[in-house]
Amino acid sequence: MNRTAAHLADGREIFFYDDAPRDRQVRDRRDITRAVGASELRYDPFLDEWVAVAAARQHRTHLPSADQCPLCPSTKSRATEIPQEDYDVAVFENRFPSFSGGEALSPHMAGDALASCVEQEGDLVEIRHAGAGRCEVVCFTPDHTTSLAQLSARRIETVVEAWADRTQALLATGQVDQVYCFENRGEEIGVTLHHPHGQIYGYPFATPRTRTMLSQARRFRSATGLDLFAETLQAEQHAGEHPGSGRVVLRTDHWTAFIPSWARWPVEIHIYPHRAVRTLPDLNAEERRDFARLYLKVLGAGDALFATPLPYISGWHQAPLSAPETDFRLHLQLFSIRRADNKLKYLAGSESGMGVFINDIPPEEMAQRLRHAIKEKGHE
């Protein structure tokens, strides 16, 4: 992997990740400035969660036509966010970020903000903080008309290299505690750009879902002396040892893709490495190559489930810097709101109001459908 760093016209950073060396002279000829309005973090004392308020995002680009796509390569007649005529994978600072830098949260504020909500007199006070953190865009390919599922395994490897490199860089800034590399795919999910791309969020705190997982992992280790992630992976592997049974979708030398028994979404696939690692930079070269091959098969199977390509959110759960060494394992979660050719899973009263999910498709049935799709595609 060959990395080139440069700057866009408004000072934002951009990085190119190329499979082969290229002599890149990067010059952004646009006359642009950064979006007006910094983001802000506000603390919810009832749920112990931070909420980002980012008014500048209200004006971000929304579903432009293909000839106006800001993620396609620049041409002589039109300059875009990518000031090159071609690229393999590109990553740049989001022009309309949810988190816009600024002073980092103190360890006390990030770990126990509730204590800061009460003044010495005992009155509850509002807690606000500048929107520390970082948001980046990852362009998987210069081809506007393709998708991640249609790329080569070699290109997926380059994407993984970019994810790992940016994770390492963001965790070293002193402003970021956890990095989330993710892709939103499909208008049903709410994408605002059709070009194949993902995002990277550098949170200045451990996210609510991660803190819950960490708490459960600690409770499990305290009660049993065992690793909750390792035990879950082993249980799924044992249940799927007989062909056609269990919830394992696909297993390779270094990875297992499965649907957990508690899946909330019609399609929900978890992908675990067999080796206990905390973050993407911890993966070795063979694990990265093996993941690329497995992921392409999983994505292809997902697109074969329904009459139209699968809309999904796919993202890497990585350990926060603040988490103890043994309490978390890197894994990917992919889920979709599609439950039938012409039906979506909407988050209605129980899900949105109370956080209690109701799944319309048994996980065992969906796992079988995905295994069948992988088998059928293998015969093509």
- pLDDT at residue number 311: 97
Measured in degrees and rounded to the nearest 5, phi and psi for residue 375 equal -65, -45
**Of the given ranges (137-141, 329-333, 340-344, 374-378), which has the lowest mean pLDDT?**
374-378
Q: Is the pLDDT of residue 380 over 80?
A: no
Give 295-311 pLDDT, tens digit per residue: 999 999 999 999 999 99
The C-alpha angle 85, 89, 91, rounded to 5 degrees, equals: 100
Q: Is the pLDDT of residue 56 over 60?
A: yes
Give 245-297 pLDDT, tens digit per residue: 689 999 999 999 999 999 999 999 999 999 999 999 999 999 999 999 999 99
pLDDT (average), residues 209-229: 96
Give 86-124 pLDDT, tens digit per residue: 999 999 999 989 988 777 787 767 777 777 776 555 566
Q: Is the pLDDT of residue 201 over 70?
A: yes
Higher pLDDT, 240 or 261: 261
- pLDDT at residue number 121: 57
Higher pLDDT, 293 or 348: 293
CA distance 111 to 254: 34
Residue 140 — pLDDT band, cuts 50, 70, 90? very high
Contact 293, 155 (CB under 8 A): no
Which of 3.40.50.720, 3.30.428.10, 3.10.110.10, 1.20.1280.50 would CATH assign to domain 208-378?
3.30.428.10
User: Residue for token digits 């799709």?
Assistant: 373
The proportion of the chain whose per-residue pLDDT surpasses 70, expressed as a percent, equals 96
- pLDDT at residue number 88: 97
- Is 208-378 the same fold as 2-203? yes
Class of 2-203 in CATH: alpha beta
- On average, the pLDDT of the chain sits at 92
- Let me know if 194 is a catalytic residue: no
231-240: long-range contacts (C-beta < 8 A, 24 or more apart)?
A: 232/260, 232/272, 233/272, 233/274, 236/260
- pLDDT at residue number 228: 97
pLDDT (average), residues 181-196: 94
Give the chain's count of helices (H) and strands (E).
Answer: 7, 16
Q: Is the pLDDT of residue 190 over 70?
A: yes
Q: Is the pLDDT of residue 243 over 80?
A: no
pTM for the whole thing? 0.94
Q: Which of 298, 231, 232 is nearest to 261 (CA)?
A: 232
Contact 267, 302 (CB under 8 A): yes
Higher pLDDT, 85 or 130: 85
Task: Report domain extents, the chain.
Answer: 2-203, 208-378
pLDDT (average), residues 137-144: 98
- pLDDT at residue number 124: 67
CA quadruple 317, 321, 322, 325: dihedral sign? positive
Q: Is 222 helix (H, G, I), strand (E, B) or coil?
A: helix
| Burial class of residue 258 in the structure, from the number of CB atoms within 10 Å of its CB (0-12 exposed, 13-18 middle, 19+ buried) | buried
Give 155-171 pLDDT, tens digit per residue: 999 999 999 999 999 99
The proportion of the chain whose per-residue pLDDT surpasses 90, expressed as a percent, equals 76
CA distance 349 to 334: 23
pLDDT (average), residues 11-22: 94
Residue of 129, 194, 195, 197 marked catalytic: 197
